[in-house]
Amino acid sequence: EVQLVESGGGLVKPGGSLRLSCAASGFTFINAWMSWVRQAPGKGLEWVGRIKSKTDGGTTDYTAPVKGRFTFSRDDSKKTLYLQMNSLKAEDTAVYYCTTVGPYDILTGYYMGYYYYMDVWGKGTTVTVSS
Amino acid sequence: QSVLTQPPSVSGAPGQRVTISCTGSSSNIGAGYDVHWYQQLPGTAPKLLISGNSNRPSGVPDRFSGSKSGTSASLAITGLQAEDEADYYCQSYDNSLSGHVVFGGGTKLTVL
């Protein structure tokens, strides 16, 4: 079964740090592009960014509000994605979802011809930034 | 203010057809970037509903369909069912923004 399981969320004070993890199973993680999406309480979805597979360069891309404070990394041997969050602000309070992201079908590895669709989502982990 | 504009809410009776619009601009949908749609049932993670403008992933009923034209896209749901009550989000790529991926603000579908 294809699965993503996030962990590491919690309560942190403004200015603090937190590291989220996302454990993957059921697909070839090493080939997958991965992303983080967050959802503030009662609000819509917000793209945080993505990390490509090492085969495709392993490059990262971040949305402007988190650039310079958040860092994505991946350990392909552990099939785990990480999100290091520093200098946290109250507006970072949200449920953080780990997702796979196109253009490759995660089961077959086929190139689908379109980009940035998020086909597998974890259940999310909650980050609360408050004093 | 979201880069992609969706109506905050739509509603319909069981069995009816509803559509949800997603309006963008020349830097995203109008530039030819694909649109994807997600369904978020209450208290759950979003689920991919439509990818690449009109493709349904395995397991998604054919009651759901997507289309794109110009700077807009639409999600249509036919034969509305009670379990379709959820939030729906469109998503695309924008070539003028850092991070580049953008979501619509979401549409709450109420089944009357």
Q: What type of residue sits at position A32? A: A
In this prediction, residue A123 has a pLDDT band, given cuts at 50, 70 and 90, of very high
Nearest C-alpha neighbor of B50 from the set B94, B22, B91, B103: B91
Interchain CB distance below 8 Å, B100 and A45: no
**Which stretches of A26-119 are assigned E, i.e. beta strand?**
33-39, 45-51, 60-62, 70-75, 80-85, 94-101
Residue A57 sits at the chain B interface (C-beta within 8 Å): no
Please tell me the distance from the alpha carbon of residue B112 to that of residue B108, in angstroms, as a whole number: 12
The per-residue pLDDT for range B11-62, each reduced to its tens digit, is: 999 999 999 999 999 999 999 999 999 999 999 999 999 999 999 999 999 9
pLDDT number for residue A22: 98
pLDDT number for residue A56: 94
Q: What type of residue sits at position A128? A: T
DSSP A98-119: EEEESSB-TTT--B-S------
Residue A76 sits at the chain B interface (C-beta within 8 Å): no
In this prediction, residue B99 has a pLDDT band, given cuts at 50, 70 and 90, of low
pLDDT number for residue B1: 81
Q: What percent of chain A has pLDDT over 90?
A: 89
**Ramachandran sector of residue A86 (left: φ over 0; alpha: ψ -120 to 50; beta: rest):** beta
Is the pLDDT assigned to residue B100 strictly greater than 70? yes
Once rounded to an integer, what is the mean pLDDT over residues A40-66?
95
pLDDT top residue among A48 and B97: A48
CA Rg, chain B, in Å? 13
B:22-41 residues touching chain A, CB 8 A cutoff? 33-34, 36, 38, 40
CA nearest A112 in B: which residue? B52
Spacing of C-alpha A63 from chain mean position: 12
Burial group, residue A29, by CB count within 10 angstroms (0-12, 13-18, 19+): buried
Q: What percent of chain A has pLDDT over 70?
A: 100
